Amino acid sequence: MSLRRADDELAVALVTGACSGIGRAIADRLGALGYTLVLASNRAAPIEEAARAIADRHGVATHPIAIDLARPEAAAELHAAVAERGLAVDILVNNAGFFFFGEAVDADLASAGRMLQLHVVTPSLLCARFGRDMRARRRGHVLIVSSISAWRDFPGIGFYGSSKKYLRGFARSLRSELCVYGVNVTCLAPGATATALYDPDVVPVELARRLGVMMDPERVAEAGLRAMFAGEAECVPGALTRAMTLAAVLTPQPVIDLLRRRAPWLRSDGR
């Protein structure tokens, strides 16, 4: 079944992290459905290129905004930038993020701070600002991109996994709050996806994609938007991803601790 617009009154979509990966795929799919797009990213040239490509392909208006969302002022600045363009956002997609692996105490603290700002603070404030506008109009959708790491804590992803767990919990609370006003909130929780989130020199992304261990971002985007338009609370795309999530939930903590002690990719006994 092809994806269709759920409500012709909804006209404008804002996607963060829209120049690559899942965000770019979501933006392209929304453009194909005829939505006017606001595309936000901290990478100026790629977001301009993405906006031109989507506009040329689908004949829709696109508004690229180069903005570093890992700053305390970012949510207010982005909300103001959208208002200055005379646009009212009907669909908010909080997707921007990045990844690093390693023990929390060894993390670059500046990077850790940026991750928490980008994954936790900014999307929460964007939801508050744009959600307030949607509530007043009594319509709209919010799609919050979390991760299957929100279901289980693992060593090596303390900052990333915990931030994604926050997003899942926040999405559930926000959904209950806004549903009575006609505003839907959906949490998209993909597993490993073949995007630039991973360093190809460390993770064999293309091989993992061919083997089916990683999903294509286009499939994740399609599943997430389908769930959002259907008003679903959560979407974990892909049968293998759902199986991996269940396995992780059912794995006893002593097993995880044993794997940590034996893991070659983390330090052991202080070395």
Residues taking part in catalysis: 160
**DSSP-assigned letters across all residues of 148-201:** GGGGS--TT-HHHHHHHHHHHHHHHHHHHHHGGGTEEEEEE---SBSSTTS-TT
Query: Phi, psi (5° rounding) for residue 10?
Result: -85, 120
How many angstroms from the chain centroid is the CA of residue 24?
A: 11
The single-letter DSSP state of residue 267 is -
Nearest to residue 101, comparing CAs of 195, 199, 192, 17?
199
How many angstroms from the chain centroid is the CA of residue 178?
A: 20
Nearest to residue 226, comparing CAs of 51, 33, 11?
33
Residues 6+ apart with CB under 8 A from 100: 107, 108, 111, 115, 159, 160
**DSSP-assigned letters across all residues of 86-150:** T---SEEEE-------S-GGGS-HHHHHHHHIIIIIHHHHHHHHHHHHHHHHT-EEEEEE--GGG
Q: Is the dihedral of CA 100, 106, 110, 112 positive or negative?
A: positive
